[in-house]
Each structure stands twice: as structure tokens, then as C-alpha cells.
């Protein structure tokens, strides 16, 4: 590693926080840097696998299209896709909840919700009131990873050697047993029902980052064992 583990955890914290928020709330009317092609071209993490590269390519192509539109229309295009995929009316075309993909009934608040809730409680992760929704929303799972990554960075800085491997192992376990188990199906639903492809690109990028992060965490674990 050319960066320190504290710096790596800092990057993980920021990435998961940003991406989690992108799935929890649509781009505001006035737009953000995420609507700019340059933002994705200069993404702070170099593509480490095919999923990351493909996701970034989708986002670059989409924002290139959006930049040709009036700002209000570009924001509206993203808002419409967000609503159609993740909210409705009716059944969302790409439901952002783990239980929908991992239970036969495809209903909310299944056993994955309970498992995720337990993981949150174990690490003291509290959901903001404005996000009152099932805990296994992909955006919340990413926000949780941001929180525990920040806690890991602080533990490394404080040199609490006995706690670090346990924290790393729990993050590996969460990624492996939760977001990575259903993100492929989530991406497929978003891709098949997309209008402009902004969110399918976002989800594929997240997929690649989760795969990258597993490799990083396993390497980190070897250093601290």
C-alpha cells in the first residue's frame, strides 16, 4: 500500500457516505457536482475492477448527456429516474431493500432486515429520523459501512491493536453477507428499467467498490494479525 491504512479508511468513509446518500435522496433541484461529467472523470478512486470501470463509464456517458440539457431539466430527469426505480408509484422497479431480493415472499422487513438491524445495534449505528425506512435499504447499508470505517480509522490512529482485527472481520462479514449478496439483482432491475442510466451506473460503481473493499480489508487484516 502506498497510502497509510488511516488514509485508506478515510477514503472508504467518504466514498460510502457519498454513495449511500445518493441512494437515499435524489439529486436536489439545483443540482450537484455528481451531475457533472468532470466529477466522475476525476473520481477519487481509480477503477480497480471491471464493475467499477463500467459503472464510471455509465456515469460519464449519462452526465455528458445531462450537461447538454438546461439545469432544471437535467435535475428533473434524475428525479424521475430515482422515483421510478426506488419509490413508485406502485411497486418500485428496483426496490432498494435487501429483503425484497432475499426472501421468497419478496416483502419488506424479512429476516435480512433483522440481521442488518442487529449489526447496526452492535456497532451503535443510529438511523436519522428522516430515513425512517427498513434498515436493509442499500443506502443505509452503505452509510453503516461509512460509520464503521470511520470508527476503524480512529482505532488505528489510537493504536488499539487488539480491537482492529475484530473490527475488520466484522466489516468483511457484513459486506459479504449483506450488500454483495443482492447488489447484482438490484443492478439488473435498475438497468432493465432505467430511463437515463444514472442510477444503474451508480449501483454498478457501488458493486465494484464493494468488491475492491473486500480485497482491501483482507489485506488490512493480514497486516494487523
Whole-prediction pTM: 0.95
Taking CA atoms, 3 is separated from 31, 52, 124, 175, in Å, by: 32, 20, 28, 22
- Residues 158-176 have a mean pLDDT of 93
Handedness of CA 186, 129, 168, 34 (dihedral sign): positive
- Banded pLDDT at 1 (limits 50, 70, 90): very low
Tens digit of each residue's pLDDT (9 = 90 or more) over 139-152: 999 999 999 999 99
Q: What CATH number matches the domain at 5-224, 3.40.50.2300, 3.30.450.40, 1.10.3480.10, 1.10.10.10?
A: 1.10.3480.10
CA distances (Å), origin 208, targets 52, 215, 223:
4, 11, 23
pLDDT band at 170 (very low <50, low <70, confident <90, very high): very high
Question: In the predicted model, what is the mean pLDDT of residues 22-44?
Answer: 87
pLDDT for 154 equals 94
CA dist., res. 142 & res. 3, Å (int): 23
Query: For the chain, which residues make up each domain, given as ranges?
Result: 5-224
For residue 130, the model assigns a pLDDT of: 62
Average the pLDDT over 64-83 and give the result: 93
> Mean pLDDT, to the nearest integer, of 191-210?
98
8 A C-beta contact, residue 185 and residue 173: no
Using alpha carbons only, what angle is made at residue 74 by residues 73 and 76, rounded to the nearest 5 degrees?
60
Residue 31 has pLDDT above 80, yes or no: no
Instruction: Provide mean pLDDT across the span 84-95.
Output: 94
Amino acid at each position: 500500500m502506498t497510502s497509510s491504512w488511516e488514509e485508506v479508511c478515510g477514503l472508504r468513509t467518504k466514498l460510502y457516505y457519498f454513495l449511500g446518500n445518493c441512494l437515499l435522496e435524489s439529486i436536489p433541484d439545483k443540482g450537484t457536482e455528481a451531475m457533472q461529467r468532470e466529477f466522475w472523470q476525476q473520481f477519487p478512486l481509480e477503477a480497480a475492477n471491471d464493475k467499477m470501470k463500467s459503472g464510471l463509464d455509465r456515469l460519464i456517458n449519462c452526465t455528458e448527456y445531462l450537461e447538454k440539457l438546461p439545469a432544471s431539466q437535467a435535475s428533473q430527469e434524475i428525479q424521475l429516474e430515482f422515483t421510478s426505480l426506488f419509490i413508485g408509484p406502485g411497486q418500485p422497479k428496483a426496490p432498494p431493500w435487501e429483503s425484497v431480493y432475499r426472501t421468497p415472499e419478496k416483502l419488506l422487513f424479512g429476516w435480512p432486515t433483522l440481521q442488518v438491524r442487529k449489526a447496526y445495534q452492535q456497532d451503535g449505528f443510529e438511523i436519522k429520523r428522516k430515513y425512517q425506512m427498513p434498515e436493509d435499504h442499500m443506502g443505509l447499508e452503505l452509510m453503516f459501512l461509512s460509520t464503521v470505517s470511520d470508527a476503524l480509522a480512529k482505532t488505528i490512529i489510537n493504536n488499539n491493536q487488539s480491537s482492529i482485527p475484530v473490527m475488520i472481520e466484522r466489516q468483511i462479514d457484513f459486506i459479504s453477507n449483506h450488500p454483495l449478496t443482492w447488489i447484482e439483482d438490484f443492478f439488473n432491475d435498475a438497468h432493465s428499467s432505467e430511463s437515463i442510466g444514472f442510477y444503474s451506473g451508480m449501483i454498478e460503481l457501488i458493486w465494484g467498490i464493494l468488491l475492491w473493499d473486500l480485497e482491501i480489508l483482507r489485506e488490512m487484516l493480514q497486516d494487523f494479525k
